[in-house]
Amino acid sequence: MNSPSSIKTVDRLVRILDCFTPAQPAWSLTELSTHLQLPKSTLHRFLVSLETYGILHRDLHDKRWRLGPRLFAWGSLAAESIDLRRIARPVMRDLVAATGETVILTAYYGQEVICIDKVETNHSVRMTLEVGTRRPPHAGASCKVLMAYLPGEEIRAIIRDKGLPRLCTNTITDPDELLTELGAIRERGYAHSLEETDLGAWGVATPIRDWRGEVVAAIGVAGPTSRLTDQLVQQYVALCRQAAQRISMLLGAGIGSRNEEQPQTKREASK
Amino acid sequence: MNSPSSIKTVDRLVRILDCFTPAQPAWSLTELSTHLQLPKSTLHRFLVSLETYGILHRDLHDKRWRLGPRLFAWGSLAAESIDLRRIARPVMRDLVAATGETVILTAYYGQEVICIDKVETNHSVRMTLEVGTRRPPHAGASCKVLMAYLPGEEIRAIIRDKGLPRLCTNTITDPDELLTELGAIRERGYAHSLEETDLGAWGVATPIRDWRGEVVAAIGVAGPTSRLTDQLVQQYVALCRQAAQRISMLLGAGIGSRNEEQPQTKREASK
DNA sequence: GAACAATGTTTCATTAATTGGAACATCAAT
DNA sequence: ATTGATGTTCCAATTAATGAAACATTGTTC
């Protein structure tokens, strides 16, 4: 869950803030104290300190602690740093229109896959994944495709550190089986999944590359099994791949030797 | 800018993270070091520590530091705690449709006004304010209306701590003038502004109240002066007020004596 | 391509800040 | 009024953060 960093106070801070999840977004002091195995006095000092800056917020109504507006502000700013979103959004909208299913944009960070953006379909029965949600990398199409293009070292680290917990009926829990699957994904250039993360859900996903050809994100289509047929899957894979390529292109991928030849050439000719 | 809290490391952390703004979203170690007057070694330890958790992110391309994905994740979660957004959104959309101008939802926190949500109009010339942006409370319709309903103590504190910096031609920079204006806003029940924050921009705003009758947010309409006429302003004020009332109603306001029976003893901070 | 300059990283003795047990305060329920 | 639970403050012990300086890396100039 948490590897130690160079500043212990930061470690604690992260441990505290990470307790706030969609499942439990509000905590009382005592609850947190027992959950984190931290003395109430220490925790209390942290909470009050964090409240000073609006990082946490004590609800006047139920007297519980929640994530505060400062995090909201920082988070919004962090989102702007990801200009990938701005670039990908129109393409994602097109993909939703073409497939009639929810489209998600994901990236890998720190042994987790985070949902950067989503565009939902209008179908009343639809796949939904909240923006900002983090998931383990071994289950689901978007997760697997991102994992597939990590360095082998990193893949082994994930399996070692996080294990392969079963999230749903078809989650791959055997390391060897997963490695084989990741190899297959690299070969095919896309990943698909069926009930690996949620019952009644399927997904396909393809990698997005930056100007260096590095996989920096994934775009995925996901929906309920009720609308699933084999032909559709192949169609969706093709559309998804096109979308990924369009985004990659916008990120400067495939311009060829544009950045390969530059290093020698000095632009400072006027000097 | 920063009042001391009970944990110094948290103070530093906030000071560091607050350097990342829309104006300067990326910093190098040396830049930050000189800006914050912190030794490079100390700062370096912080940055590396924060990177461990994805709170900051070192861009591989330009080697600069930016806000990281974990803040994005926490921010998204913090946004969910503000269920005001979910409630207000449909009303905001209606208001955009009725006025043809951008509508913003704002709240007061820690001597600042933060933009919680926005719905933009389709006009090519339009008012835009990014979600998550923080502004001083003394200029602009939304800001002023939120300020107007703060306790007098808090209003004085803002003027004392932050001053009244001039942001645009019509910014109110005189304390007495501002207090008079805030009184007028309370009497009228809405605020309006013309070029107080941005050249060529106007705005009107009305307060949103929760089930206790407390002002918890503001809804505002804003646009370019090119589309402004006096009749329109009055029309927009009426529409804006209706919208605020609809949202307040949805928050449980005006259900009658539900919470009115509580004695009017305000829990003044008896410190 | 050697020398230089600028930026980034590590080390470690000194110093200051965090810690947490325990005492105290507040609140709700009976 | 009494009890129990939750929240808040205190302070001596000890740990953890500090930052000057040495070191390493990267990029630029001649």
Q: Which tokens in the block code for residue B190?
A: 């809405």
Q: Give the pLDDT band (50/70/90) at residue A252.
A: low
Q: Which tokens in the block code for residue A78?
A: 């962090």
Q: CA dihedral in degrees (A79, A82, A87, A93; nearest 10)?
A: -40
Nucleotide nearest to B12 (CA to C1'): D17
CA distance B30 to chain A (A): 19
d(Cα B213, Cα B207) in Å, to the nearest integer? Answer: 10
Strands A56-58 and A65-67, sheet pairing = antiparallel
- Going by the DSSP 8-state scheme, the letter that residue A139 receives in this structure is S
Q: What is the mean pLDDT of residues A180-194?
A: 94
Across-strand partners of A193? Answer: A203
Interface test with A, best of B3, B8, B10, B17 (most A CBs within 10 A): B10
* A178 contacts A138 by C-beta, under 8 angstroms: yes
Owner of token pair 């509508």: B103
pLDDT tens, residue by residue, A62-110: 788 999 888 988 988 888 777 788 788 889 998 999 999 999 999 998 7
CATH class in words for A82-250: alpha beta
Protein CA B38 to sugar C1' C11 (Å): 18
* B104 contacts B85 by C-beta, under 8 angstroms: no
- Going by the DSSP 8-state scheme, the letter that residue A227 receives in this structure is G
Q: What is the mean pLDDT of residues A235-256?
A: 81
| Sheet with B191-194, edge to edge strand ranges | B134-135, B112-119, B102-109, B215-224, B201-209, B191-194
The angle that helices B152-162 and B175-188 make with each other, rounded to 10 degrees, is: 140
Which residues 54-73 of chain B have a CB under 7 Å from nucleic chain C?
Answer: 63-64
Question: Which CATH topology does A8-73 take?
Answer: Arc Repressor Mutant, subunit A (1.10.10)
Strands B112-119 and B102-109, sheet pairing = antiparallel
Q: Which tokens in the block code for residue A267?
A: 């632009």
Give the residue among A196, A184, A98, A89 at the shortest CA–CA distance from A145.
Answer: A184
Question: Please, what is the average pLDDT of chain A?
Answer: 85
d(Cα A70, Cα A50) in Å, to the nearest integer? Answer: 10
The angle that helices B8-17 and B29-36 make with each other, rounded to 10 degrees, is: 120
Per mean pLDDT, which range of A137-151, A183-197, A233-247, A256-270 is the poorest? A256-270
Nearest residue (CA) to C1' of C6: B30
Instruction: Tell me how many degrees the CA angle A90-A95-A98 measures, rounded to the nearest 5.
Output: 130
The SS3 of residue A33 is: helix
Owner of token pair 């104290």: A33
Owner of token pair 């919680």: B116
A7 pLDDT more than 70: yes
A205 pLDDT more than 60: yes
Q: Provide, rounded to the nearest whole percent, the portion of chain A with pLDDT above 90.
A: 50
Which residues contact residue A154 at a Cβ distance below 8 angstroms, ignoring those fewer than 6 apart? Answer: none
The SS3 of residue A23 is: coil
Give the residue among B148, B152, B192, B189 at the shortest CA–CA distance from B170.
Answer: B192
Protein CA A31 to sugar C1' C22 (Å): 20
Q: What is the mean pLDDT of residues A33-61?
A: 89
Q: Is the CB of B258 under 7 A from strand C?
A: no
* A6 contacts B42 by C-beta, under 8 angstroms: no
Over chain B, what HEC string results? CCCCCCCHHHHHHHHHHCCCCCCCCCECHHHHHHHHCCCHHHHHHHHHHHHHCCCEEECCCCCCEEECHHHHHHHHHHHHHCCHHHHHHHHHHHHHHHHCCEEEEEEEECCEEEEEEEECCCCCCCCCCCCCCEECCCCCHHHHHHHHCCCHHHHHHHHHHHCCCCCCCCCCCCHHHHHHHHHHHHHHCCEEEECCCCCCEEEEEEEEECCCCCEEEEEEEEEEHHHCCHHHHHHHHHHHHHHHHHHHHHCCCCCCCCCCCCCCCCCCCCC
Q: CA dihedral in degrees (B27, B29, B30, B35; nearest 10)?
A: 60
Across-strand partners of A66? Answer: A57
CB contact under 8 A, B130 and A80: yes
d(Cα B145, Cα A115) in Å, to the nearest integer? Answer: 36
Per mean pLDDT, which range of A128-132, A139-143, A160-164 is the poorest? A128-132
Give the residue among A115, A124, A132, A112 at the shortest CA–CA distance from A203.
Answer: A115
Interface test with A, best of B2, B81, B266 (most A CBs within 10 A): B81
The larger pLDDT score, comparing residue B175 to residue A5, is at B175
pLDDT tens, residue by residue, B191-231: 999 999 988 899 999 999 876 678 889 999 998 888 888 88
- Which residues in chain A (25-84) have CB-CB distances under 8 A to chain B? 25-26, 45-46, 48-50, 52-55, 57, 66-82
A254 pLDDT more than 60: no
Domain boundaries, chain B: 8-74, 82-250
Which residues from A are below 8 Å from B116, CB to CB?
72
d(Cα A141, Cα B97) in Å, to the nearest integer? Answer: 39
Q: CA dihedral in degrees (A32, A38, A41, A45; nearest 10)?
A: -70
At residue A183, φ and ψ (nearest 5 deg) are -60, -45
Domain at B8-74, CATH from 3.40.50.11810, 1.10.10.10, 3.30.1240.10, 3.40.605.10: 1.10.10.10
Q: Is the CB of B36 under 7 A from strand C?
A: no
| Segments of chain B with pLDDT less than 50 | 1-2, 254-271
Radius of gyration of chain A (CA): 21
Which residues from A are below 8 Å from B2, CB to CB?
53
